[in-house]
Amino acid sequence: MTPPRLPFSRQPLRHVQDRLATGLITAGGIGVLLAILAISVFLIWETLPLLAIGDTFSLAKLSPLAWGTLKAALAAMLFATPIALGAAMYSALFMSARLRSRLKPTLELMEAVPGVVIGFIAGLLLAPWVERHLASTLMMIIWLPLSAALAGYLWYRTAASVRQRLPLSWAGLWFVPWLAGMAVLAMWLAPIIEQHWLGGDLRRLLDQRYGLDYATRNALIVGIAMGFAVIPSIYSLAEDALADVPPTLMEGAQALGASRWQALWKVALPTAGPGVFSAVMIGAGRAVGETMIVLMASGNTALFSASPFEGLRSLSASIAIELPEASPGGMTYHLLILAALALFIFTFMVNTLAEIVRQHLRRRYQRLGSTL
């Protein structure tokens, strides 16, 4: 904000100082903003020589990398979106307020875990483990949601005293041991199932019947690891959008006889839809640009393959590997900068879209809050 024009004063030094400082701040501020914007200028400038060469063959080198990026992002989003949105819906509308005030910052701390640590765990521990226990992993992916539903079913069947002891509003916490137990159960059951119905070795079966190769570091691992990294950002934004739905709307729906889930599904989600959408978009932007996790967990093999059990190589990982060795001004150098430009444009567009959608949503909430 600008202060109103000052009355004439007899202390010119203070005013000179003020002018000078204002000028300095303006120059500094504009300079910083220009420096930030210079990134896009630099990237475009350095890719211009490619246009002059006009060599479409070398451009084709980038396409498996682009494919790898999309595949990795897709795998991560497939893993992260349901979990993050489910968690957001639960914590915005079902969780007890006291638990929520503790749990939300905890889940947001997940975002702070550095990518290099996640990548290390995924590449050196998770990948060999999954290779040895592929059946257990797949079984866990199917069994854990089912076991949650089973827990819900059992809960409706138990006595009221138990239900009061273990309410739905605290389920986010007391489900943790239940899920851990179910994961152990799945790990124990999977080899038996594999032995009896799948002929002893799932990987050989996949290879023989469907011709699927299995690479140790593959898209499945990348999906799980990068999903872990993306969950908190989607969760946090989607939860904000859902929790900010004017409570009058939900109360109105429930007063008309809707159950809590119906109110959520029919009222809160459509209202907060744009916010949830922008949360998913921002998550996708993060998944596309993430470097260390893909670099460490993907095997870095540039393949055109849709199989979740084969390796991939992404644009960002290629930049990290090849750019330090590329001679400045060479073909590879410009190509890699083109890759960086593609990443920049994609994430910038996605984020801008998400930001615009979110601002619209904020205005809509203000309108709804004032009329109701």
Tell whether residue 52 is a contact of another protein (CB under 8 A): no
In the complex with another protein, the residue whose CB is nearer, 303 or 354, is 354
Residues that contact another protein, how many (by CB under 8 A): 114
Whichever of 102 and 211 has its CB closer to another protein, that residue is 102
Indicate the residue among 178 and 277 with the shorter CB distance to another protein.
Answer: 178
38 in contact with another protein (CB under 8 A): yes
Q: Which of residues 148-207 bind another protein (CB under 8 A)?
A: 148-149, 151-153, 155-156, 168, 171-173, 175-176, 178-180, 183
∠ at Cα 262 (258, 265), nearest 5°?
Answer: 145
190, 195, 197, 199: CA torsion to nearest 10: 130
Bridge partners of residue 299, in order along the sequence: 312
Short-list 168, 147, 143, CA closest to 93: 168
The verdict on 26 binding another protein (CB under 8 A) reads: yes
Restricted to residues 228-247, the positions that interact with another protein (CB under 8 A) are 228, 231-232, 235
4 is a site residue for another protein (CB under 8 A): yes
We find the least distance from the C-beta atom of residue 296 to another protein, in angstroms, to be: 6
Q: Residue 277: name the closest of 224, 246, 245, 237 by CA.
A: 237
Site for another protein in 311-370 (CB under 8 A): 316, 319-320, 323-324, 328, 336-337, 340, 343-344, 347-348, 350-352, 355-356
Of 85 and 272, the one with the shorter C-beta distance to another protein is 85
Q: Are 219 and 264 contacting, i.e. CB atoms less than 8 angstroms apart? A: no
309, 301 contact by CB (below 8 A): no
Closer to another protein at the Cβ: 250 or 343? 343
Identify the CA nearest to 68 among candidates 341, 248, 317, 235. Answer: 317
* Residue 6 binds another protein (CB under 8 A): yes
Q: How far is CA 172 from CA 164, 221, 262, in A?
A: 15, 25, 20
The residue behind tokens 């211009």 is 48
Residues 107-146 that bind another protein (CB under 8 A): 107, 109-110, 112-121, 123-125, 144-145
Told to check if 49 binds another protein by CB under 8 A, we report no
Q: Give the C-alpha separation, 185 to 163, whole Å.
A: 24
**Residue 277 binds to another protein (criterion: CB under 8 A):** no
